[in-house]
Amino acid sequence: MWHDLMVAFALMMVMEGVGPFLSPHAVREALLGMARLNDRALRVCGLLCMIVGVVTLYWIR
């Protein structure tokens, strides 16, 4: 289990690094846009990301 968790973490780090590597300006603009959102909007986005992640894991497994 720990091996799978570390593999998932490593893949997440690779995916997170692709955007800033390819287009740092676009990532900066996106982060500035997120900083302007209110707490409720960020929570809803976080909840939707978690739901999509769980559904994707269920679908894959």
First-to-final CA distance of the chain: 15
Write the pLDDT tens digit of every residue in 2-54: 999 999 999 999 999 999 999 999 999 999 999 999 999 999 999 999 999 99
Is-contact 20 27, C-beta < 8 A?
A: yes
For residue 26, how many other CB atoms are within 10 A of its CB? 11
pLDDT of residue 16: 95
| C-alpha count within 13 angstroms, C-beta hemisphere, residue 38 | 1
**Predicted structure pTM score:** 0.69
Please report, for the chain, the start and end positions of each structural domain, with discontinuous segments joined by +: 25-61
